[in-house]
Structure 1
Amino acid sequence: MSHWLYDKVVSITQGTNLFINFYAALLIFSSTNKEKFKNCTLKDFKVDKEAFHKKHILYEFLESYDDMKKKIESQIELYTPLYCKHVKENFRFYNDVKDQCTSEASCDYFKELNEFKTKFIQENVLNFIYDKCKYKKSSCKYGSNTDNDVPCLRAKGSPFILLLLGNDPDDIVNILLNVTIISVPILAIFLILFKFTPFGSKLSRLKAKLQKNGHKKKEENIEDYMNNYAAYVDNVMKNRVNVSYHAS
């Protein structure tokens, strides 16, 4: 409740100090209506929107992981890929922001960062993700890469296929972009080989020769057909003459 409310408040009052007044009024109201708020925690986190956004993402993932784990473990096609991707993205997010937060004095989400690390460096937790999601440990684009830390993840499979698909085989835009990036240099190399090298000249001469032989063969086939057809017509006419002669 506290995270949800604070997120809404800082979003509405962005760039102002109105959220301070809101929490002051809320404290007075909840104090005079304790029975209605006895099951609610309405904490004022006293951090800016950017810091709270990071804090909230880490906290929310930690709170919801056990439920996601059950969905992943079910191996239902509707759930498993979706939640596995969510795990991978949150591992990436952790590595993106961790180097900016090395102590409680340096940032406001140090507590959540440490809790995230404590949970997801456990060998049994990682092995579950590797096994059920078909992922493996990978180096991170951002953040320091150390053994005793939460790893980035990538799909298991052929390195060439992963080069095409990237870390997200469901991302069709990424697939098309990678295929284009790989195809263009290959096509350029073939173009250079065909146009500007002796190898290309030989292939061009061979192609011209094959085309010439092909045209010649086609002409010979047509000529043979016409000769055969003429012989057939001539034979038919002779038979008709013979039949007419004997009939008379």
Structure 2
Amino acid sequence: MAKKKRYVYRCVSGVSNYSNSRNKGRKSIKLLLYIVLFVFLVYFGGRKLVNLAYESDKIIVKSIEVVGTKNVTKTEIKELLPFETGDNILKINLSKTENEIKRLKPELKSIMINRSWQKVKIKLCERTPEAFVMQGDTVFGIDFDDNPFPLRGFMNAEKVPKLFYRSDVERKKLLSFIKSFKPMCGDFLSDVSEMKFSGAGDIIFVTHGNTVVFWGDGEPNVLSHKFNRFQKIYSDAMSKYKQIECIDMTLYSFGRATVKPVRE
């Protein structure tokens, strides 16, 4: 005899589903309100803390240290600062101050300002003249960045050549030659008083003993070998003659060099 199937009937209430949806909606609204309240407290609380820090008499500059000075004085650097001891240390705009001092002091290669608790440290790096240039009637220093700057302190005593040029392009080429020439010529560069280009575009330098050297082009590939050869010629000529009028190295690539002594 076949068994009768039993059926279970469940009654689903529409009112119950509606109530659950309302509860979930209320929880979402509460969560959103809590988040908004939290953000509000963090924002205004943070602003309050920042304002308190900016107004605090404990977060102030108590000392200013300047290091790296050789020719520039610490006093003149401090006088250029837009802040002083007693000012709030958080209000200092470091990058703006660095840029402004570099603009006013082109003899500085770099400046770095750091702040710590109640202290500001200023680290300077001064430029070193690699040559002298004329601007009007005034002698300026210039380095391999091609930036002329006023000579300060002991910069005038540097034994570097004075450059004579007809354009900025010639000046840059002379600086480039010195940069390549300096590592291999040793102390000889300190004996060079002037450096310039001839009308034909060859490099000429004059020694402190008034010897004119017609160097030729500044080809870097043969510079080391050419200088070694020149050094032997120059040393030999100095031992033979009291004074040398000129040494011509323009035909070096053809194996020729000419020495002309001063006639007595």
Q: Same fold (TM over 0.5)?
A: no
TM-score class, shorter-chain normalisation, is under 0.3
- Name whichever structure is richer in helix by fraction: 1
Identify the structure with the greater strand proportion.
Answer: 2
- RCO higher in structure (CA 8 A, sep ≥6): 1
TM-score of the superposition, structure 1-length normalised?
Answer: 0.24
